[in-house]
Amino acid sequence: MVKRSRPALSQPETRRARSTSGRIRLEDVAAHAGVSTATVSRAFNEPEKVNEDVRERVLKAAEEMNWIPNAAGRALASSRTHIAGAIIPTLDNEVFAKQVSAMQAVFSERGYTLFLGCSNYDPEEGHRQVMAMLARGVEALAIVGENHPPELFRALKLAKIPFVVTYSFNPNAPYACVGFDHNAAFQVITRHLIDLGHRKFAAIFQPSQDNDRVAARLAGIREALVDASIMFDERDCLVGPPTMEFGAKSFADLMSRGASKPTAVICGNDTIAIGAIAAAGSLNVDVPGTCSITGFDDLMIASQVSPQLTTMRIDNQHIGTLAARQLLSVIDGESLQPISEELTTELRIRDSTGPAL
Amino acid sequence: MVKRSRPALSQPETRRARSTSGRIRLEDVAAHAGVSTATVSRAFNEPEKVNEDVRERVLKAAEEMNWIPNAAGRALASSRTHIAGAIIPTLDNEVFAKQVSAMQAVFSERGYTLFLGCSNYDPEEGHRQVMAMLARGVEALAIVGENHPPELFRALKLAKIPFVVTYSFNPNAPYACVGFDHNAAFQVITRHLIDLGHRKFAAIFQPSQDNDRVAARLAGIREALVDASIMFDERDCLVGPPTMEFGAKSFADLMSRGASKPTAVICGNDTIAIGAIAAAGSLNVDVPGTCSITGFDDLMIASQVSPQLTTMRIDNQHIGTLAARQLLSVIDGESLQPISEELTTELRIRDSTGPAL
DNA sequence: TTGTAAGCGTTATCAC
DNA sequence: GTGATAACGCTTACAA
């Protein structure tokens, strides 16, 4: 442990000696420049309030001494941390990585540093991360999805900091959302396939437990199918990890179902879909001739696999940018609270879907 | 701006009233529990030092009041922030995202929060991020690559915090590295192709400016070719953005070179290589029959494209884990400074490389 | 075992 | 325009 023994309590009455902690303090800079601490602080934070010559002397002193302001001291005195937080499920994924890097860019440009937390799809871990961020004094927070324990939202309310839910969009939520309607998006995908004449469907999906987006996606499929009076039961929905391996394995499973095999397979995301396409290749199943396959996300690779994947494009970068801007506008007092923004999704029809036999 | 007007300087001599700032302080909890502030602090930080009944009373009071400790106050008093930092070029990339999420997991487990900075391959931006992190009191820092301004390293030395360079490995560096030898890795790739009988090479690469790893990779290729007395000049090396588009465009360019066209194309990473493979598909160039293609990184998709990509596997997750562990061992006083660790890379020979005609 | 109070490095109020 | 100094919320040396 790096514990520094504290100096004797009774200090000399004179100005404290330098380097008590090894690190240069604003006070040291002030002494070096022959001004008061207030002036040093002003020279950096409100430069227009100090005479030019004094300011230059201060800046020079700080430069010479390699002074780095201490953010903790500053935070304590000003009750401003200039830190924002983002909680995402995982970084192992283009989707959230794009969101985060866009947020980072926006915040960074405005002088904010971003704290990142990954929950690994565990709501409890997400809750812990949020508490840690609040303790660190984040001034705003973005969090993916709505599926979080109520205590999390309660803590956020109590902390009185602006926050937005990203990726999901729920018009009835008591908080701001920046995202899109997962249910509607999957209805669009499903209808695209129905319009192509498909009547026998299957789905390969990531688990919907602890994941409101996935649950909404499945609901979207079911609703569209019900509307078209198409059967779809438990057996038609394979659930497992969102990996290419699971996609491949599941697709092989579906193709082995003989007469009852689907002519259209809706995958929960592009990764699963690409696994399915790969399996089709090795099984010599014609896509889309024998079976159509759809993905979701429009990952970079979606247009590079063969056949190119029909999928739904979401502008995750834009989600990140919008979310960060909403939060900043509240922090900077330009608005009272973040405003929900619904993004549109765009079906990218490519070569993995075609007419039913 | 959220500026709170400060209360009058002359306070009553009695214990300060609660809620001066709206947020609950440790002092409020102490009052509520009927103990001193010291006891509250101890109840949380050194629980074994307070009587069980007192501790429970304190914990209950804190719980009831929804107290969240203020990290700035704690940092100031203890000169410990429990923050670590990581600087990476970009998150738009499986490679660094994996590194970061592994680090995050390790740090989080040990009670540290991770500050993330993306430099977008701009050394100046990287420098700014490092300074911001030092101001925030990071206790350790990981930074990708060696290509940074000397002031950055100087600042790191001055701050006296442990840091490691990740991804790159330089045995002669005056600091610890956790990474691998990019030069050697590309020599292995090049030799693999030479062994297959290739004599006419080309390369499609990301820019090596401001990027020591890329420069080392190119040098590796050149060294291996020189050893085998194989010609390779400027014209054989196409440089551009690390995108599939550039990979595709460049491959098409190379294939249009008539008699002097290469039989082996070494790409700077998998993304470029996958673009090249896609172009080969649309140009009806047989891979590897007519031309072999190699990548680097072994992205998830590398084994899903057709033909499957021969590439080099790097365990980026492991890099992140090792780097974080090195840093933690210094922070926790288990070692005096981080120790360099060289990772091995593994050539994954798949279907995109084959014998020369 | 518990309490008292100084001190961490800033900012911001007030006085000059 | 500049300086003196309380206050920010916590930890910790020391006293009790």
Tens of pLDDT along chain A (357 residues) come to 333 333 333 334 444 666 445 689 999 999 999 999 999 999 999 999 999 999 999 999 999 999 999 999 999 999 999 999 999 999 888 899 999 999 999 999 999 999 989 998 999 999 999 999 999 999 999 999 999 999 999 999 999 999 999 999 999 999 999 999 999 999 999 999 999 999 999 999 999 998 999 999 999 999 999 999 999 998 999 999 999 999 999 999 999 998 899 999 999 999 999 999 999 999 999 999 999 999 999 998 898 888 999 999 999 999 999 999 999 999 998 999 999 999 999 999 999 999 998
Q: Is A301 on the interface with B (CB under 8 A)?
A: yes
pLDDT digit string (tens) for A182-226?
Answer: 999 999 999 999 999 999 999 999 999 989 999 999 999 999 999
CA of A185 to C1' of D9 (A): 48
- Give the E-state strand segments of A173-315 in sequence order: 176-180, 201-205, 237-239, 264-267, 292-294, 311-313
Check: pTM over 0.85? Answer yes or no.
yes
Q: Nearest CA of chain A to the CA of B222: how many Å?
A: 30
Euclidean distance between CA atoms A175 and A169, whole angstroms:
10
Q: Which residue in A24, A45, A76, A87 has the most chain B C-beta atoms within 10 A of its own C-beta, making it the best mutation to test that interface? A: A76
Nucleic strand C near CB of residue A72 (< 7 Å): yes
Query: Which chain C positions come under 7 Å from a protein C-beta?
Result: 1-14
Maximum distance among all alpha carbons in chain A? 93
Euclidean distance between CA atoms A181 and B281, whole angstroms:
36
| DSSP state, residue B2 | -
pLDDT string in tens for chain B (357-residue length): 333 334 433 334 444 666 445 689 999 999 999 999 999 999 999 999 999 999 999 999 999 999 999 999 999 999 999 999 999 999 888 999 999 999 999 999 998 999 989 998 999 999 999 999 999 999 999 999 999 999 999 999 999 999 999 999 999 999 999 999 999 999 999 999 999 999 999 999 999 998 999 999 999 999 999 999 999 998 999 999 999 999 999 999 999 998 899 999 999 999 999 999 999 999 999 999 999 999 999 998 898 888 999 999 999 999 999 999 999 999 998 999 999 999 999 999 999 999 998
Q: Nearest CA of chain A to the CA of B181: how many Å?
A: 24
Burial label for B105, CB within 10 Å (0-12, 13-18, 19+), is middle
Q: Are strands A346-348 and A311-313 parallel, antiparallel or unpaired?
A: antiparallel
Euclidean distance between CA atoms B77 and B79, whole angstroms:
6
**CB A308 within 8 Å of CB A350:** yes
| Structural tokens at position B301 | 């998709």
Q: Work out the number of other CB atoms within 10 angstroms of the CB of residue A93.
A: 20
Q: Work out the number of other CB atoms within 10 angstroms of the CB of residue B151.
A: 13
Q: Work out the number of other CB atoms within 10 angstroms of the CB of residue A319.
A: 27
**CB A245 within 8 Å of CB A276:** no
Q: Are strands B113-118 and B140-144 parallel, antiparallel or unpaired?
A: unpaired
**CB A313 within 8 Å of CB A307:** no
Report the residue from B22, B71, B118 with minimal CB separation from A136: B71
Q: Is B184 on the interface with A (CB under 8 A)?
A: no
Q: Is B278 on the interface with A (CB under 8 A)?
A: yes
**CB B81 within 8 Å of CB A136:** no
Could B66 and A158 be called an inter-chain contact, meaning their C-beta atoms sit closer than 8 Å?
yes
Q: Tell me if residue A93 falls in helix, strand or coil.
A: coil
Euclidean distance between CA atoms B311 and B299, whole angstroms:
9
How far is the first Cα of chain A from the last one, in angstroms, to the nearest whole number? 70
DSSP notation for A58-77: HHHHHHHHT----HHHHHHH
